[in-house]
Amino acid sequence: MKILVPVKRVVDANVKVRVKADGSAVELANVKMAMNPFDEIAVEEAIRLREAGKAEEIIVVSIGPQQAQETLRTALAMGADRAILVKTDEQTEPLGVAKVLKGVVEAEQPGLVILGKQAIDDDSNQTGQMLAALLGWAQGTFASKVVIEGDKAKVTREVDGGLQTVELKMPAIVTADLRLNQPRYASLPNIMKAKKKQLDEKTPADYGADVKPRLKVIKTEEPSGRKAGVKVKSVAELVDKLKNEAGVL
Ligand code: AMP
């Protein structure tokens, strides 16, 4: 079985994000970029499934600018077998990405697609679900455990009330949640090897997809800062403030 893992290049999770002076978007010039953290978890899970003998090949794919090849090389250094860069300079959105991924799935015929549950830049949490709908495949979202048995995948999902286990008939879509695994670091020799690997370069049109933005960002704002706290002299004053000022009692 082949496993397809879509990986997105996003602002590094450790960088403090700033909004551009004109409020049009987040500042990306000279900002450190990295693989979306949930996608690292997805790559790690695919590698573990291959190590357990449940898969033979892991293909990673990124839809984005030329620099997204760095993200693909990180995935290759972790242990993916092959990488496809679907090049576009458009700002990608979930539906456009899902349409490209549908084309990649049709070309590569994977038994499983593991995505991140969400990209930390747009926080859409939509691409996996849209891809499942476009393909008519079963989906197990927010996975914290994946067990493959024959042509079935048992996925434990993190839901509000606790954990839910669902059984999917494969081929299927899984989206990775935080507790699925702890991704490995790529070793230096593997990073060096990954630098030399050939990537497949494609365009959205090669997969019959159009990634033109369908949404218009009207405004981007930083969260407002926290107000300074106040010291109270007694419990009675605290209760009074909670009742009459904060209105929480
Ligand atoms: P989203 O729906 O944007 O929150 O993204 C969910 C997941 O879809 C991500 O964790 C990635 O696995 C995948 N994805 C989204 N955008 C891209 C992209 N441009 N290239 C590759 N994978 C993507």
- Determine the pLDDT at residue 197: 95
Residue 40 CA to ligand 1 center (angstroms) comes to 12
Which residue in 71, 78, 55 sits closest to 12, CA to CA? 71
Ligand 1 atom nearest the C-alpha of 61 is: 21
What does 209-229 look like in DSSP terms, one character per residue? -------------PPPPPPPP
Which single residue is written with the structure tokens 């067990």? Answer: 147
Q: How far is the CA of 162 from the centre of ligand 1 (A)?
A: 25
Query: What distance in angstroms lies between residue 8's CA and the mean position of ligand 1's atoms?
Result: 5
Q: Which helix (H) or strand (E) holds 169?
A: strand 162-169
Q: Model confidence over 164-176: pLDDT tens digits? A: 999 999 999 999 9
> How far apart (Å, rounded) are the C-alpha atoms in residues 72 and 191?
11
Query: What number is the average pLDDT over the span 91-118?
Result: 97
Instruction: Please give the model's pTM, rounded to 2 decimal places.
Output: 0.91
Domains delineated in the chain? 2-246 (3.40.50.620)
Banded pLDDT at 146 (limits 50, 70, 90): very high
Quote the ligand 1 centre to 7 CA distance (angstroms).
Answer: 6
- State in Å: Cα 173 to ligand 1 middle: 13
For 40-57, what is the mean pLDDT?
98
C-beta of residue 144 within 8 angstroms of C-beta of residue 179 = yes
Write down the pLDDT at residue 249: 83
Most ligand 1 atoms within 8 A of CB, residue of 38, 44, 97, 215 to mutate: 97
Mean pLDDT of the chain: 95
What pLDDT is attached to residue 224? 83
Q: DSSP assignment of 39-98, as one string?
A: HHHHHHHHHHHHHTTS-SEEEEEEEE-TTHHHHHHHHHHHT-SEEEEEE--S---HHHHH
Quickly list H helices, 109-230. Answer: 127-135, 188-196
In angstroms, the first-to-last Cα distance of the chain is: 57
Report yes or no: 10 and 97 within 8 Å, Cβ to Cβ. no
Nearest CA to ligand 1 atom 16: 8
Lining ligand 1 with CB less than 6 A are: 6-8, 36, 38-39, 62-64, 92, 94, 97, 115-116, 118-119, 122, 124-128
Predicted confidence at residue 39, as pLDDT, reads 98
